């Protein structure tokens, strides 16, 4: 088994249900190839460093997956290329997928807690 982290950027003009549908599509492809989704995170709507396909923002998702062969990864990436909702994706091979929240999710949670403790948000 090989472990991968797959980060996708989804168009900002789609509803959040579509973001969930893309994550489900990734999980279905992984399961079809007898792989496993170890971790799935949604980082939310974020500003891009530079415009991609005329979009300045995008919904970020990250999935930690395990796959058995190169054909499975090629099929997954091919399906993402065909998807109209996905504007960019990156697959990185890792030694293992940590079950802890990623640094992005920890920072997002920390910012949310800080706002609540300051009394700035209701």
89-108 as b/e: b if 16+ CB within 10 A? bebeeeeebeeeebeebeeb
Please report the pLDDT score of residue 106 as a whole number: 73
Q: Which residues have a Cβ under 8 Å from the Cβ of 73 and sit 6 or more positions away? A: 2, 4, 67, 91
Each residue's pLDDT tens digit, 33-84: 999 999 999 999 999 999 999 999 999 999 999 998 889 999 999 999 999 9
pTM as predicted: 0.82
Dist CA 59 CA 48 (whole Å) = 10
Please report the pLDDT score of residue 120 as a whole number: 42
Q: Which CATH architecture has domain 2-118?
A: 2-Layer Sandwich (3.30)
Each residue's pLDDT tens digit, 84-103: 999 999 999 999 887 777 77
Closest C-alpha among 83, 5, 74, 78 to residue 43: 5
């Amino acid at each position: 088994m090989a472990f991968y982290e797959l980060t996708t950027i989804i168009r900002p003009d789609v509803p959040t249900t579509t973001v969930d549908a893309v994550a489900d599509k990734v999980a279905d492809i992984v399961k079809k190839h007898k792989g496993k989704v170890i971790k799935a995170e949604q980082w939310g709507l974020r500003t891009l460093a530079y415009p991609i396909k005329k979009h300045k923002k995008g919904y970020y998702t990250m999935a930690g997956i395990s796959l058995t062969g190169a054909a499975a990864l090629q099929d997954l990436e091919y399906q993402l290329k065909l998807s109209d909702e996905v504007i960019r994706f990156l697959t990185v091979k890792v030694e293992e997928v940590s079950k802890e929240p990623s640094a992005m999710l920890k920072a997002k949670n920390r910012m949310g807690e800080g706002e609540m403790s300051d009394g700035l948000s209701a």
